[in-house]
Amino acid sequence: MTNWNTLSDADFRAQARQFFEAEYPDDLRNLPHRPIFAEIKHWHEKLHAKGWVAPAWPAEAGGMGLNAAKLLIFYDEQQRLGVVRGRDMGVQMVGPLITKFGTQAQKDYWLPRILSCEDIWCQGYSEPGSGSDLASLRTSAVIDGDDFVINGQKIWTTMAHDATHIFMLVRTNPDAPKKQQGISFVLMAMDQPGVTVRKITTLAGEDEFCEVFFDDARTPVANLVGEIDKGWSMAKALLGFERIFIGAPNLAQNALNQLEQFARGRGALDDPRFRDSFAELALDVEDHAALYARFADQLKRGETLGADVSMLKIWVTETFQKITELMIEAAGPDGSSLGPLQVGNVSIDVLASFYKARPGTIYGGSNEIQRNILSKAVLGL
């Protein structure tokens, strides 16, 4: 079993870069859509064979056991090359919770199935009327013998139509004095009576999000992770590294590189006004990268990130949107065209990038919520 943390950061980066550049398929780089598992199964199998599916998991759980510095490098190299975000809800979210809060029986059963993608997971959090105010969720779970009986609805459930299982927050005590109390974290199979999945087609024509309806669906009480009525603390525990990775600079950097190629090929950079707009965005991307590096250094030193990390998500998602808007401008009359536009040897789907940038300011805690966090926890307003 390799202890990757004994390598220097430079040596580990070189090995990660060599593997991704040699093994990651060209046709999967910078995909404009979230693929179903069948599209990336061969890539997942390569990662699984190498033991690189779960870089943040401890080695004893089947992961790489990377420290903060190595983990940042791992994801940086993936993002630099446009490695698609696969069906990683199990690896990124439910796996770490089972590792930290689950019973030994849950770890022995679920973790190997997550690594192999024998089970493919989706996240059941948001509900109609309970998005940013997640604690107001109403989907109920009532104990009936050895099972929870679940009724309610989840929405904006990413790739639920391609999932075998769902982890979700449910209300197990409707009489709790505070809405954050009385919520539990449970695991459930999707392929059963009482579970209905309805796809939501996006503006880009993709079926990435779903509504999920529960009508007397069942899951064993043994699939409760952690304590009953204590699921809110579980939900907060999912933040961890997500708070910095969701604000990583590669999203805007890759978009800016595409914009430069496209604008140069279209002659837009000959326009002084366009050059000014491009230069302003380029400076924003550089400033954001410097801010990200500051927070990354905190993690490398073993420090806990403060509430000010919310700045990263706001900055990168709004800059990404501005970049895609300028790309539409560079396309001129073709800016509303569906499908890729050819510029020299480069093919860029301008409209798909624009659509992809829209939900970024909403997911992972809307930017309005992030600004509230900054105003209260950082500025003391």
Output phi, psi for 176, to 5 deg: -60, 140
Tokens representing residue 368 in the block: 């309005």
Q: CA-CA distance, 296 to 290, in Å (whole number)? A: 10
Q: Is 325 a catalytic residue?
A: no
pLDDT-derived band at 131 (thresholds 50, 70, 90) equals: low
Decide: 209 and 158 in contact? Cβ < 8 Å: yes
| The predicted structure's pLDDT at residue 167 | 96
Q: CA-CA distance, 333 to 323, in Å (whole number)? A: 18
Q: Once rounded to an integer, what is the mean pLDDT over residues 139-165?
A: 96
Decide: 199 and 207 in contact? Cβ < 8 Å: yes
Coil vs helix vs strand at 220: strand
| The predicted structure's pLDDT at residue 69 | 84
User: Packing angle between helix 310-331 and helix 272-300, nearest 10 degrees?
Assistant: 160
Whether the per-residue pLDDT at 219 is higher than 90: the answer is yes
Closest by CA position to 378, among listed 297, 299, 312, 288: 312
Superfamily classification of domain 121-229: Butyryl-CoA Dehydrogenase, subunit A, domain 2 (2.40.110.10)
pLDDT-derived band at 241 (thresholds 50, 70, 90) equals: low
Q: Name the CA radius of gyration of the chain, rounded.
A: 22
**Domain edges within the chain:** 4-86, 121-229, 242-378
Closest by CA position to 151, among listed 127, 132, 175, 179: 127
Annotated active-site residue in 39, 211, 242, 318? 242
Q: What is the CATH number of domain 242-378?
A: 1.20.140.10
Q: C-alpha distances in angstroms, 44 versus 56, 85, 108, 128?
A: 16, 11, 21, 33
Q: CA-CA distance, 81 to 30, in Å (whole number)? A: 8
| The predicted structure's pLDDT at residue 207 | 85
Q: Amino acid identity, residue 258?
A: Q
| The predicted structure's pLDDT at residue 199 | 95
pLDDT-derived band at 62 (thresholds 50, 70, 90) equals: very high
324-364 residue pLDDT tens: 999 999 988 888 887 778 777 777 888 888 988 888 888 77
| The predicted structure's pLDDT at residue 238 | 67
157-188 residue pLDDT tens: 999 999 999 999 999 999 888 888 899 999 99
pTM of the model: 0.83
Find the largest Cα–Cα distance for the chain: 72
